[in-house]
Structure 1
């Protein structure tokens, strides 16, 4: 994670990697992480950042932590370097975490890499031409946290087959597809099948939601959210009020950021959008011809 990291990202990693014992809900995990951050700040290992939803770590502390992780926990990390050759097979089989951040990939990705112990795989990149082979993740049987930023994913590799297969993730607690601006289609009954879902983030997507009276449309309907009894946090942007379900679900939500219509016509001086994953209650409606 970066020097000024999102607390929400830390919560996701702690849940995905099973770091928190006897914790069963996202809210409990967030409370535990917050209390741990307070203790780490008191010891001087961490400090406050520029906003309440971030935390900061000094470079000397971060570098020491990365060094320990690389030596003791078989972590592979490369930042702003050139990757002209992947590690040998013996090293790949021992790695538990792999982080490749803003690297120059001299050659194409291999068809797949054998990393049976890898739990976290992250690529941050800004090359739109970088593509992952179809079976790249096939040998990552223990993968629990996958973060891909700035990667060309059209179509998605079959080795992480989405989106229909999401129906099988019956224990999924957090679903975040924010800023997938080209995402248009989500199959009907997919969202309603995620019965353990507690937090849903879908800001800045282009999903064509089904209007309630449309019979032939195979897209998901927002009425499916009513079946998610564990849902507490929602970040959502929809084209117009016609997509809203008849029976709203605000009574169960602890935090929400919902935008109906487009707010592009407003200037930043008039109106400030909450940050992603900021814990607030916020509803904005843009009416036509207003």
Structure 2
């Protein structure tokens, strides 16, 4: 995948859903114009590299990545991001600064069985869909 992405500066949608890729290459951050990153149902992936350089990202979906424990980097510069789906992951906390995405419309985290707490979400002023159903360990929303 790393070789495929090296010269793809204009790539808008990357869908690697339902694959057996063990990891995502660090070069993903170099695809600066990416609008959608879809990594659904990739059970081999445990950690994602930093995607904070993907400032044009609008949709980030890692739902069904049931072994995903960590997403590196911060989301604070992703001002276009409007849909995040973390459902069915092994994340115990939200990625850094995701609670400050003022344009976020959908935050979906169904069946995140290790998610224990959520930060204050008051800055998510455009949030239309917020789903934490079946997050059995969730005991605190600040």
Q: Report if TM-score (shorter chain) is over 0.5.
A: yes
TM-score normalised per structure 1: 0.37
Q: Superposition pairs for residues 88-103 of structure 1, below 5 Å?
A: 88-90=5-7, 92-103=8-19
Q: Superposition pairs for residues 72-221 of structure 1, below 5 Å?
A: 86-90=3-7, 92-105=8-21, 108-113=23-28, 114-127=30-43, 129-135=44-50, 137-151=51-65, 152-160=67-75, 162-163=94-95, 165-187=97-119, 190-205=120-135, 206-209=137-140, 219-220=141-142
Does the CA-based 8 Å contact 1:163-1:186 persist in structure 2? no
Q: Provide the residue aligned with 1:52 in structure 2.
A: none
- Higher-helix-fraction structure: 1
Aligned residues: 122
Cα RMSD, aligned residues only: 2.6
User: What secondary structure does 1:175 align onto?
Assistant: strand
Give distance in 2, aligned partners of 1:104 and 1:134: 17
Give distance in 1, aligned partners of 2:26 and 2:46: 11
Does the CA-based 8 Å contact 1:125-1:149 persist in structure 2? yes
Gaps of 5+ in 1: 1-82, 210-218, 221-290
Q: How far 1:196 moved relative to its partner?
A: 3.0
Change (3 A) 1:183 1:96: same
User: What secondary structure does 2:107 align onto?
Assistant: strand
User: What secondary structure does 1:112 align onto?
Assistant: helix
Give distance in 2, aligned partners of 1:122 and 1:148: 6
TM-score normalised per structure 2: 0.68
Larger radius of gyration: 1
Higher relative contact order (CA 8 A, sep 6+): 2
